[in-house]
Amino acid sequence: MFCAPRDRVAVIVLILCAITCVAQHPATVAADQIWNQLAASNRRFVIGKGAPHDFPARRQAVAKFQHPRVAVLSCFDSRVPPKFVFDAGLGELFVVRSAGEDDDPLSIGRLEYAVEHLGSTVIVVMGHQSCGAVTAACSAGKSE
Ligand SMILES: [Zn+2]
């Protein structure tokens, strides 16, 4: 589904968790509609044809408030930045990054913040191939 076979930096979405959050934030969009938009934007990334982004206009639009519909937990590997992988503009993704997309308490707390205070309604946990953190965690050798 989500892959870039040419450069061997495939992205695998491990978990898609849709959360209904209607109370405080405007314009709730169905999780599957958001998911379809993410899939389309990922396809643009894969083929190298990202949508044009009007950064000055978006900077103004999100200067005082942000309501990213999607929160992403991903590895902080430099080859898989979620904003590029999902061809996202300013204010579209709330990104939490850790080694091997570790779901440590701080990362979980940040995702909770996105849902409770910013109105994110979809959480994506995004893994990738050739992850050094996962490889190290799964190796038989001792690690500090
Ligand atoms: Zn990684």
Q: How far is the CA of 126 from the centre of ligand 1 (A)?
A: 9
Give the separation between CA 137 and CA 102, rounded to whole angstroms: 11
Structural contact between residues 123 and 102, judged by C-beta atoms closer than 8 angstroms = no
Distances 110 to 10, 40, 71, 72, 104 between C-alpha atoms, Å: 25, 26, 9, 10, 10
Q: How far is the CA of 78 from the centre of ligand 1 (A)?
A: 9
Q: How far is the CA of 133 from the centre of ligand 1 (A)?
A: 5
Q: How far is the CA of 2 from the centre of ligand 1 (A)?
A: 16
Lowest mean pLDDT among 32-46, 47-61, 127-141: 127-141
Residue 97: pLDDT band (50, 70, 90) is very high
Q: How far is the CA of 74 from the centre of ligand 1 (A)?
A: 8
Strands 70-75, 93-98: pairing is parallel
**How do residues 1-43 score in pLDDT, each as one tens digit?**
444 444 433 344 444 433 333 334 545 679 999 999 999 999 9
Q: How far is the CA of 85 from the centre of ligand 1 (A)?
A: 14
* pTM greater than 0.85 (yes/no): no
